Amino acid sequence: MKQFNHFAGNKRKKILFFVVFPLLLAAGILLPGNRPGVDPYAAKDHKADTSLSDVLERGVLRATTNYNSTNYFIYRGEPMGFHLELLRLFALDLGVELEVMVSNEISEQLSCLLEEGSCDLLALDLTVTRSRQEHLLFTEPHSRTRQMLVQRNHTGGAAAGPVRSQLDLAGKTIHVQKNSAFAGRLYSLMEEIGSGIHIVEVEETVEQLIEKVARGEIDFTVSDEHLARLHRNYFRNLDVSLPLSFEQNLSWAVRPGSDSLAAAVNRWMVSFRETAQYAAIYSKYYNNSRSVFLAKSPLHSLGGGMVSNYDSYFKEYSRIVGWDWRLIASLAYQESRFDPGAVSWAGAFGLMQLMPGTAESLDVGPESSVPQHIRAGVTYLQWIDGVLAEHIQDEEERVRFVLASYNMGIGHVMDARRLAEKYGRDPNVWKNNVDYFVLNKSQPKYYNDPVVKFGYARGAEPYNYVNEILERYAHYLNALEG
C-alpha cells in the first residue's frame, strides 16, 4: 500500500499500481452458496475501534482510498480526486491533518482497517450490502448508483447487438474485480435467473476491465453507473445501458464499534451533501466528459506518470542535494506552478523563483534556460543544507528547515532556532518547536527579542510553505514512480 504520510521517511513501500496478477478464480458455472475463496471482510483479529477522541488526540485522520481517474490522482502537479476532496474537507471540519493511504486491492484496504489498524476510515465507493454490514460500520452514503453491465455495442458481432436482458446473461463470461460487490451481485443474479454465469474474479481494477471490454479483450464487466457512463464518453464503442441492480448506496466505512467517528462522518456528510460545493465536486469528477480524456494525458499520473514537462531535469539535478526528485518537483510547483515565466511581487523569477541577488550569485538570470534555473535552485538548496547540517544531524528533520530557509532566508530560520532554545523548545526539531517561532516571527515579542538578528518576518507564509510542499510530496510518492 502506498501511503501518504507527512514525510517520505515514514512511507510504506509496498505496491505498484496496475500490476496484473494471474487469475485466482477459474471461470465456471457456480452457485451462490458455493462461491470459492476467503471472505475478505471476515478478518480474524479485528483491531479495537477508533473513537473520534482518538483521531482528535492524534491530530491526524488516517484514510485509505483507491487510485483511479476519479477518486485519487495527480494532474499537472496537483493532487486531485472526488474522495480526496471530500476527505480534505472532512479533516478540515474536524480540525485535524489528513493522511491518505492508497491501494487498489480491496483485501489490502480491509486489512489496513480491520487487522492492522493503520487507518481509521475507508473512503471509497463502497456498496452497502447486508453481508458487508456484518464486518464494517458504514457511514451515511456520499452518493448512490446502480451496477451496470459494461459491454461493446456489438459484443457478438455485427448481427448480434448487446445483451438487453439479465436473463440473456446465462452462460456468459463476465470479468469483475476480485472481492467486489459486483461479484456478489452476479452470484445472486445466477439464482434469480435460474442459470449459471461464468464469473471470473481478477485483481485488475474496474477501469482496467472497462478498457479491456472496449479493446475487445473481454466481453463483459460490471461497474457502478457513474463510472461506466464517464468511460462511455471516451470509449464510444461501449454500451452501459443494462442495469444489474436497483439503486444502491455508496458509503465510507469504519471499524465496527467506532460509533463516535461514524457519527462525526454522518453529521458532516448529511450537511455537506446538501451544499452547492458538494454538487460542484461531484460534477467535476463524474459529470465531466473530459475526465477520462485527461487521464490519458502524459501529465496525468494515470496516463503518463509525469508531474510536469520538466521531470527529467528534476531527476537529473536532484542528485546535487541528494533529495528525491519528487520533493524538488513539489517545491517547484509551490514556487511557480511549473511556469518558467513566473515573476513574484518581490521580484523572484523563473521556475524556481530565485531572488535576483541569489540568482546572480548562481550565474542565472531571467534569460537562462529552465534546466539552468532548476540546477541553480537545487544548488541553492544544497548550500542551505550544508550550513544547517552543522546544527541538525537528522536528514529528514533538516529538510523542513531547508525548505523554510529557501522561502524566508536562512537568517530568519536561525533566529527561530535561537528563540526555540531560549523558550525551552528543541532548536533541531521543526514541528511544534521551531515552526512555532517561524509562524510568530511577525509578533513584536519575538522579532524584537535580543536573540533575533534579522528582525521581522511574515511567518505564516514559510510555515504553510513547508507543510504544503511536504503534503504534496507525499501525494507524489503515492502516485508517481521514483
Q: Which whole-number Å values give the CA distances from 377 to 263, 329, 357, 373, in the listed order?
A: 47, 11, 13, 6
Contact assessment for residue 401 and residue 434, using Cβ atoms and an 8 Å cutoff: yes
Helices assigned H by DSSP within 44-120 = 52-58, 82-94, 106-110
pLDDT in tens, 262-312: 999 999 999 999 999 999 999 999 988 777 778 778 888 888 889 999 999
Residue 157 confidence (pLDDT): 47
Select from 78, 62, 244 the least CA-distant residue to 150.
Answer: 244
Radius of gyration of the chain (CA): 26
Q: What is the pLDDT of residue 445?
A: 97
Helix (H, G, I), strand (E, B) or coil at 166: helix
Whole-Å CA distances, 215 to 168, 218, 238, 441: 22, 8, 10, 59
Q: Which amino acid is at 180?
A: S
> What pTM, to 2 d.p., does this model score?
0.83
Do residues 64 and 113 make contact, with C-beta atoms less than 8 angstroms apart?
yes
Q: Which pLDDT belongs to residue 335?
A: 97
List where CATH 1.10.530.10 sits in the chain: 311-479
Measured on CA atoms in the order 254, 260, 266, 269, is the torsion positive or negative? negative
Distances (CA, A) of 249 to 127, 349, 383: 6, 50, 55
Tell me what pLDDT residue 18 has: 26
What are residue 354's phi and psi, to 5 degrees? -80, 140
- Determine the pLDDT at residue 431: 96
User: 395 with 386: CB under 8 angstroms?
Assistant: no
Which residue in this structure is represented by grid cell 534579522?
454
> What's the CATH code, domain 38-145+249-295?
3.40.190.10
CB 287 within 8 A of CB 146: no
Pairing of strands 73-75, 78-80: antiparallel
Report d(CA 417, CA 435) in Å as an integer: 9
- Which 3-state string (H, E, C) describes 180-194? CHHHHHHHHHHHHHC
Separation of alpha carbons 317 and 340, rounded Å: 17
C-alpha cell at 267: 453529521
Write the CB contacts of 221 (distance below 8 Å, at least 6 apart in sequence).
150, 174, 175, 176, 182, 206, 209, 210, 212, 213
Instruction: Please give the helix or strand (H or E) that residue 176 lies within, else none.
Output: strand 173-177
- Annotated catalytic residue 335: yes
Comparing CA positions, the residue from 415, 306, 395 lying closest to residue 78 is 306
> What whole-number distance in Å separates Cα of residue 209 and Cα of residue 199?
13
- In CATH, the number for domain 311-479 is 1.10.530.10
Q: What is the spatial distance between Cα 160 and Cα 10, in angstroms, rounded to a whole number?
A: 55
Is the CATH number 3.40.190.10 carried by domain 147-246?
yes
Identify the pLDDT of residue 149. Answer: 97
Task: Give pLDDT, residue 45.
Answer: 56
Q: For residue 272, what are the β-bridge partners?
A: none
- Residue 214: the pLDDT is 94
**Parts of the chain belonging to CATH 3.40.190.10:** 38-145+249-295, 147-246
CA distance linking residue 171 with residue 253, whole number of Å: 35
Residue 476, Cβ density class (10 Å: 0-12 exposed, 13-18 middle, ≥19 buried)? buried
Residue type, 344: S
Q: Cell triple for residue 136?
A: 464494517
Rounded to the nearest integer, the mean pLDDT of the chain is 88
DSSP state letters, 349-398? BTTTTB-HHHHHHTT--TTS-HHHHHHHHHHHHHHHHHHHHTT---HHHH
- One digit per residue, pLDDT tens: the chain, 482 residues? 544 343 433 333 332 222 222 222 222 333 333 344 445 555 545 666 789 999 999 999 999 999 988 999 999 999 999 999 999 999 999 999 999 999 888 888 888 888 888 999 999 999 898 888 999 999 999 999 999 999 998 754 444 678 999 999 999 999 999 888 899 899 999 999 999 999 999 999 999 999 999 999 999 999 999 999 999 988 989 999 999 999 999 999 999 999 999 999 999 999 999 999 999 999 999 988 777 778 778 888 888 889 999 999 999 999 999 999 999 999 999 999 999 999 999 999 999 999 999 999 999 999 999 999 999 999 999 999 999 999 999 999 999 999 999 999 999 999 999 999 999 999 999 999 999 999 999 999 999 999 999 999 999 999 999 999 999 999 999 999 88
From 201, 335, 397, 471, active-site residue: 335
CA–CA distance, 388 with 372 (Å, rounded to integer): 24
